[in-house]
């Protein structure tokens, strides 16, 4: 199957414009699964929770309905980061949408910096969704720094981690190579570009293989859509040598909790 990231430059507060951009990319892409950045409809660096609450939407909502329409027409899947409103509660979430509609959502477990002033910590746990040809796990941005996040998804059977992000620290792209190796799993990190206030986003969206190969990587400064062909069977072979399996060789009785 073909998987892709869309590295975009969301316009701050311009939900309709940002949604139209994602729909256009989705329609043109040849990928079976395409991953968009974290908070790709709203922008990111909000000073006011009130302002963010006004432009966030429930799940399902307008965006998931419009994404579903294109996914149905094109027979493809999408993962995108959204600011989710539930009553007056806000969550930094990711949705998985396909030809038959909303498949599931994930609420970010590990909030970064000022996100703690805007969002509640995620309560969904780490989730894996079986699309038939591939099993997709979801995590968001700063989840990358906690190896337990990717490991949990691997233990739950994910072949690929879809990873919407708004990265500002310089470490993630390298760390996700390690996450791929230690779990023998594909990762698709969809980062954004541009600047909002004091934050400059690092771009360099990437797709990595179970062997830690960089299959595709974007630039730091340009909007880009890159796609590659993957074989999920490679992610189901957890052997490093004939005698070593990265999951079966674990000895959790000796690990500190």
Active site residue 227: no
In this model, does residue 86 exceed pLDDT 90? yes
Active site residue 66: no
Active site residue 108: yes
- pLDDT tens track for 9-44: 999 999 999 999 999 999 999 999 999 999 999 999
In this model, does residue 247 exceed pLDDT 80? yes
The helix (run of H) or strand (run of E) holding residue 233 is helix 232-236
Which residue among 38, 74, 115, 227 is the active-site one?
Answer: 38
CA distance linking residue 74 with residue 2, whole number of Å = 13
Q: Domain 2-254: what homologous superfamily?
A: Carbon-nitrogen hydrolase (3.60.110.10)
Strands (E) in the chain, as ranges, are 2-7, 33-35, 77-86, 89-98, 101-107, 128-130, 135-138, 160-164, 186-190, 195-196, 199-200, 206-208, 214-217, 224-229, 239-241, 244-245
Residue 110 has what pLDDT?
98
Question: Looking up tokens 């746990």, which residue turns up?
Answer: 125
- pLDDT tens track for 235-244: 999 999 999 9
Mean pLDDT for 86-113 is 98
Query: HSE-up of 56 (CA within 13 Å, CB side)?
Result: 27
In this model, does residue 197 exceed pLDDT 90? yes
Q: Where are the domains of the chain?
A: 2-254
Which residue among 40, 141, 172, 227 is the active-site one?
Answer: 141
- pLDDT tens track for 117-131: 999 999 999 999 999
What phi-psi label fits residue 236: left (phi over 0), alpha (psi between -120 and 50 degrees) or beta?
alpha
In this model, does residue 257 exceed pLDDT 80? no
Write out the DSSP string of 175-199: HHHHHHHHHT-EEEEE---SEETTE
Mean pLDDT for 77-85 is 98
Average pLDDT, the chain: 97
For residue 147, name the pLDDT band (cuts at 50, 70, 90): very high
Residue 11 has what pLDDT?
97
Residue 241 φ then ψ, to 5°? -135, 180
- pLDDT tens track for 39-58: 999 999 998 899 999 999 99
CA distances from 257 to 122, 149, 156 (A): 20, 14, 19
CA distance linking residue 29 with residue 25, whole number of Å = 6
Which residue among 40, 71, 105, 108 is the active-site one?
Answer: 108
Among residues 175, 216, 158, the alpha carbon closest in space to that of 6 is found at 216
Mean pLDDT for 67-93 is 98
């Amino acid at each position: 199957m073909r998987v892709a990231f869309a590295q975009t430059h969301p316009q701050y507060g311009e939900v309709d414009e940002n949604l139209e951009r994602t729909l256009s990319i989705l329609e043109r892409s040849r990928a079976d699964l395409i991953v968009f950045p974290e908070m790709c409809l709203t922008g990111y660096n909000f000073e006011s929770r009130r302002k963010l609450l006004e432009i966030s939407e429930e799940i399902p909502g307008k965006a998931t309905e419009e994404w579903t329409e294109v996914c149905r027409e094109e027979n493809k899947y999408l993962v995108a980061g959204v600011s989710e409103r539930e009553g007056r509660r806000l969550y930094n979430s990711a949705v998985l949408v396909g030809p038959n509609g909303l498949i599931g959502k994930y609420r970010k477990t590990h909030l970064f910096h000022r996100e703690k002033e805007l969002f509640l910590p995620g309560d969904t746990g780490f989730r894996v969704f079986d699309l038939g040809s591939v099993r997709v796990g979801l995590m968001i941005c700063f989840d990358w720094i906690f190896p337990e996040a990717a490991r949990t998804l691997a233990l739950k059977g994910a072949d690929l981690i879809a990873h919407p992000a708004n990265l500002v620290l310089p470490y993630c792209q390298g760390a996700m190579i390690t996450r791929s190796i230690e779990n023998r799993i594909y990762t698709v990190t969809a980062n954004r570009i541009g600047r909002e206030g004091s934050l400059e986003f690092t771009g360099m969206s990437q797709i990595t293989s179970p062997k830690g190969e960089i299959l595709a990587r974007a630039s730091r400064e340009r909007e880009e859509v890159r796609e590659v062909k993957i074989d999920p069977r490679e992610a189901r072979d957890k052997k490093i040598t004939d005698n070593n399996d990265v999951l079966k060789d674990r000895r959790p009785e000796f690990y500190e909790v």
